[in-house]
Structure 1
Amino acid sequence: MPDNREARAAARTDMIMRTTLALAQETGYAKLSIEAVAARAGVGKHTIYRRWPSKGLLFLDSLLSLNEPALDYPDTGDVMADLRRQIYAAVDLLTGPQWGPLYQALVGEAQHDPAVAAGLGERFIRPQTDKTVARLRAAQEQGQVAPGFDLDLAMSILSGPLYFRFLISQEPLTRDYVDRVLDALFAGMGPRGPADAPASA
């Protein structure tokens, strides 16, 4: 069993991270500060700095540790249905009032903080990318995706339009839009039958 010091340290860490998210939701990430977190949590700011050397890393750890998204892929044998179900879940999460604004702020912070960018990539973006490519690879082996199609490129084509709406254009990220993106993707990477082969000269 962990000793009392370890239990107290774990409880303090949890309290600091929860306080960080609560303040970020109240004031927005731009106005969040380690000093404010320390004051609300009732700890010294040096206690926070010993574990998290920057506001961005504190926010990253708080958001991803306390809001671990369950975005695993089903495998029903129908890759389109499985992609649709998983992406619907991601869209619902990213457009929700609790996660969406915080995740937007985290991605924004990653643009000018290499440590935050690395952490976000390692803990969220890369795992989700790997799951998507693995599901596409299984579909390719089953003949649902054209053999030889670049699956990393497929992942980029699939995620790019979603992130563009979420982060750049601020247009609604809807299930209908997800369906249109999937239809466009599979129009290009679906299996090719003899009728699709180019005519001989």
Structure 2
Amino acid sequence: MDKKKFSIKDIPGWAVMLGIFGILYLTGLHTEAIGQVQRLLLATGVKNADVPAIDEVAANSETELYTVAGAPMAGAGFKMVDLNGKTVNFESLKGKVIFLNIWATWCPPCIAEMPNIHSLYKKMDPNKVAFVMLSVDEGGMEKVKKFVDKKKYTFPVYMPASQFPQEFYSTAIPTTFIISPEGKIVAKQEGMAEYDTEEVREFLLGLAK
């Protein structure tokens, strides 16, 4: 009786995919691979960021999502440290529109949306719009700095240097907040999204006037 010769075609598709994912996981590339797939999803435009109409923000104080009673602004008292080790008070950004993105290097959706955030950043006037890319990595600053340098991102990246403000707690990562020059949270996006859109650009510039 002839024995059937083994062929790679005999391997089930699920086993091949499991093997590929296993290799990616062991090499630490799975996060990047998943992020690339999710980036393709963002490119379709189905996950564009949702922002309110600028006239609604100006006319309706209830647009503010959350600010501690009596505080001068959302995130008052919060301290951050940049990748050069300099401590920055969040309150020092008041007077500018703040684009606050909470992310981590281990988060595929964060990696997926970051290129379009960087694209948006390069189109904004830093004197009017302050970007705060706030990493919640627990692996230390060097890990974050290595990631940012590898990607050649130039937007400001920070890590928490004090207790995290309750206004910025979220059940999802990434989460993005847009804060008005008066210090009010006027938009919140949980999960990844496309931010370099005409709608978001006009919203940020409208707030900055």
Q: Does TM, normalized by the shorter one, top 0.5?
A: no
TM norm structure 1:
0.26
Q: Write 1 or 2 for the structure with the bigger share of helix.
A: 1
TM norm structure 2:
0.25
Q: Write 1 or 2 for the structure with the bigger share of strand.
A: 2
- Determine which structure has greater relative contact order: mean sequence separation of CA pairs < 8 Å that are 6+ residues apart, divided by chain length: 2
